[in-house]
Amino acid sequence: MKARVLFFATFRDRVGARAIEMELPDGSRVAELKTRLQVQYPVLAELMSSALVSVNREFAFNEDVLAEGAEVAIFPPVSGGVHSDYPTFVAITEQELDINALLSQISLPTSGAACFFTGMVRGVTQRGDAHATAYLEYEAYQPMAEEKLRQVADEMRQRWPSLQGVVVIQRIGRLDPGTPTVLVACSAAHRDTGVFEAARYGIDRLKEIVPVWKKEVGPQGEAWVEGKYIPERTDTVDHG
């Protein structure tokens, strides 16, 4: 059987390619593919123990069997849905985030409250090893990332049914200090119906399951910034 393997962030740098084609025995599992990759690319050996894998844009696990033509993605831990008549906007974009325009999109005649969270590029990091940042370079496994943004929005609605509009957007590309990088927003009839909690949940969940990574570039050099969260099968969506 054949599989197409995509590499992101540190894995792409080590392999020196964004994608390869692999021949595998029929019935091969994810664990076997990972072993073959380590043999073919010894530079991946120290990374593979923490590697995350997706198959056809959904998280996959060592015991999962691969099918002919599978699209497999290998990447580090990342730094369908609920029906609703209310507006939901999710996107991976290189465009500037226009907060006023987004507010108008999620505001209904019955909306009386909206909560926005936006992260931005720090020029100076003081926590931990203090250092300066010249810019960040964001990349995403875009098709899967957009599906996972939708999952985040759906989970927000499941937990806080009173939400009206929901926005979850991640920027990619080169972003300079002071530039907004991500935005999670939601509206509701009143401020005490979960908008604060939902926005906080949304950004935390995005950092867990959406395949987006950043490379930090500064006077000290450049390095990929990776997370620690390892998804479980409960983080997947049942498409059946």
| 97 close to 173: Cβ distance less than 8 angstroms | no
Kindly state the tokens that stand for 133. 């940042």
Give the global pTM.
0.74
Kindly state the tokens that stand for 34. 């990972």
Q: Is the dihedral of CA 8, 14, 16, 21 positive or negative?
A: negative
Read off the DSSP letter of residue 128: S
- The DSSP H or E segment spanning 181 is strand 180-188
Read off the DSSP letter of residue 29: B
Q: Find the DSSP H helices in the chain.
A: 10-15, 30-40, 99-106, 142-159, 195-209
Residue 239's Cβ-count burial label (10 Å; 0-12, 13-18, 19+) is exposed
Rounded alpha-carbon distances, angstroms, from residue 96 to 17, 35, 91, 104, 115: 29, 41, 12, 16, 19
- CB atoms near residue 68 (< 10 Å): 9
pLDDT digit string (tens) for the chain, length 240 residues: 999 999 999 999 999 999 999 999 999 999 999 999 999 998 998 888 888 999 999 899 999 999 999 999 999 887 644 445 789 999 999 999 889 988 988 999 999 999 999 999 999 988 777 889 999 999 999 999 999 999 999 999 999 999 999 999 999 999 999 999 999 999 999 999 999 999 999 999 999 999 999 999 999 899 998 888 888 888 887 655
